[in-house]
Structure 1
Amino acid sequence: MTLDRLVCANCAGPVAEGRCPTCRASRQRMQEQQGPLGGLSPAALIALLVALIACALIARHAFA
């Protein structure tokens, strides 16, 4: 889950904005739990996957 979709139960604002101490604590905890690709949007992850597959196909064709 990305931070831009979470709403704080304390202040009813987006957690990504960090309006209250609860938002800031939740944002910090989620950022620590995410891996290196955790900050990417699902669309960016799909684009990265497509680019990786395209590179693999090009390399396969070039070395075949």
Structure 2
Amino acid sequence: MIADWLVCANCAGRVSEGRCGVCRAELARLREERRPWAALGSPAALVALLLTLAAVAFLATRPA
């Protein structure tokens, strides 16, 4: 999401300008979401990744 068109309810300015603390917090949150590995920060995603790796390891070590 791009913050160029978002308007802050606190200061009525554009969020991208970062006039108030609310704007700056929202900008920080948006930048955090844009990181490529941000989705792995959730506990559910980490558990799913660990279960997938365990299943692959189990299948790889299983005798033929």
How high is the TM-score relative to the length of structure 2? 0.52
Deviations 1:1-53 (A, max 9, x none): 311010000000000000000000000000110145xxxxxxxxxxxxxxxxx
CA distance in 2, matches of 1:34, 1:13: 22
Q: Say whether residues 1:28 and 2:28 are aligned partners.
A: yes
Q: Give SS of 1:24's match.
A: helix
Q: Which residue of 2 aligns with 1:14?
A: 14
Unaligned runs of 5+ in 2: 37-64
Correspondence for 1:5: 5
Give the aligned length. 36
- Calculate the aligned-residue CA RMSD, in Å: 1.1
Larger radius of gyration: 2
